[in-house]
Amino acid sequence: MFTLGKNQPECWTYVNLKKDFLPKVNKCLKEAAYGAPIALYQNFVKFVSVCPLFQLKEIKEDKLNKASFKERCNLLRECLVNLYSGLGNDESVSFHRELMNSHAETLTFVLLKRVNQLTDQAEIDFVF
């Protein structure tokens, strides 16, 4: 998904992410990645970086996947909660460290992206 989303960003316009894709991702996160957790958890930040619904900015040209800022924040929160709830799964006993690293990295990535957007906006406002 990362390679496809990175190389072909217009591919996200053909899929309704909220109805077709996110429920499957959230279920996979709750079920501790169905036995392949390390591959999912190590690449989850990459996926969040290219998925347009997880970007905390307004994207007005995408009619299929448009969402308000508040809705995008709720989707991120739900995704992080599902990632954390994977700890309760019996399969996750052997890879708690990878799961918690993924949770921390994703949260740090999202926060840093938002702070960078706010500081960039503040610099633009200051210039004018």
In the chain, which stretches have pLDDT less than 50?
128
Domains of the chain, by residue range, sit at 2-127
pLDDT of residue 59: 57
What angle is formed at CA 105 by the lines to CA 35 and CA 61, rounded to 5 degrees?
95
pLDDT of residue 89: 76
pLDDT of residue 122: 65
CB-based contacts of 79: which residues, under 8 Å, 6+ apart? 22, 25, 26, 29, 48, 54, 106
pLDDT of residue 2: 64
What angle is formed at CA 9 by the lines to CA 80 and CA 34, rounded to 5 degrees?
40
Backbone φ and ψ of 74, nearest 5°: -65, -35
pLDDT of residue 25: 83
Q: What is the pLDDT of residues 84-120, one digit of tens each?
A: 887 777 777 777 788 888 888 888 888 888 777 777 7
